[in-house]
Chain A
């Protein structure tokens, strides 16, 4: 049973990782990268490593997505506030 859950998780992770490469929208690619980390943290929890799972969920799924998005915005590759600017 556990092997099947792990297999599904790994398959989903691989799918999300391929999506990171295929997405043209950078925000969508960051979200897909966060999905990889989230599924990986589930896998760690399944493997009885709650400490690592917690780190992966906090850093990989949460923080790194925010840092990537902010960094890309700072480099001018994405514009998070595009719709609001004409009003301002």
Chain B
């Protein structure tokens, strides 16, 4: 019965959205900000990927808020779904076996590949689609796959928390450095370089590296915590 109710709810929501969408003028932007950013972003930030220049340069504080929300969500999920003391004592007495051969061999093959793809997406965030958030999730997936294959050999909690804290501090530190240099908080620093080069766009790749490490450490910590 409640499945039917949720289906009806979803259909009502869809009807509402379709009704709203038909009222909007198709292909007309309600704001002029997008066009202005498209024209000015490559020259102002030196980032070939305009989405990155918006996420990190024009809306850097929003990204900091996003990181804070993710941190709060991961913390609360870990807190609510923490293993009970009873389950923990049970797990300690029972030795943890490795997963089967297929999963172990697959994870050995996938782990370096996922790591390479994750760091590629993070470090090329200012050139190609992607960036810290997407690459960080791929990095977390790499560690989660190896954790699933070998539950006994889990990453150290202290290391994960340390990476996360240092990356978060680095993001805010770069923002404060811009503030001390006389600019606005999180204003892009350093030389912009040539558009499209790996080393370009000033401090944006550094910010995305911090975001990627923070997201990766946070999510792999959360997944390992849930899987324990």
Contact = CB atoms under 8 A, between A and B. Distances in A.
Interface stretch (B104-112, B131-139, B176-184, B202-210): B131-139
B130 A54 contact: yes
Interface string B56-92: 0000000000000000000001000101000000000
Interface residues of A, number: 21
B121 interface: yes
Interface string B109-142: 0000000000001000000011101100110110
A35 B6 CA distance: 19
B222 interface: yes
Given A54-B121, A55-B134, A58-B134, A88 B226 contact: no
B169 interface: no
B219 interface: yes
Chain A, interface SS category: helix
A57 B214 CA distance: 19
Contacts of A55: 133-134, 137
B3 A22 contact: yes
A21 B7 CA distance: 8
Interface in A30-71: 50-51, 53-55, 58-59, 62-63, 66-67, 70-71
B216 to A, nearest CB: 11
B7 A66 contact: no
Given A55-B133, A55-B134, A62 B227 contact: no
Interface of B, helix, strand, loop or mixed by DSSP: helix
A62, A63, A74: which has the most chain B beta carbons within 10 Å? A74
A18 interface: yes
B130 A67 contact: no
Contact of A54 (B83, B129, B222, B227): B129
B144 A66 contact: yes
23 contacts: A17-B10, A18-B7, A21-B3, A21-B7, A50-B129, A51-B134, A54-B121, A55-B137, A58-B138, A59-B133, A59-B137, A62-B137, A62-B141, A63-B219, A63-B223, A67-B222, A67-B226, A70-B81, A70-B223, A70-B227, A71-B77, A74-B83, A88-B94
Interface of B: 3, 6-7, 10, 49, 51, 77, 81, 83, 94, 97, 121, 129-131, 133-134, 137-138, 140-141, 144, 219, 222-223, 226-227
Interface of A: 17-18, 21-22, 50-51, 53-55, 58-59, 62-63, 66-67, 70-71, 74-75, 84, 88
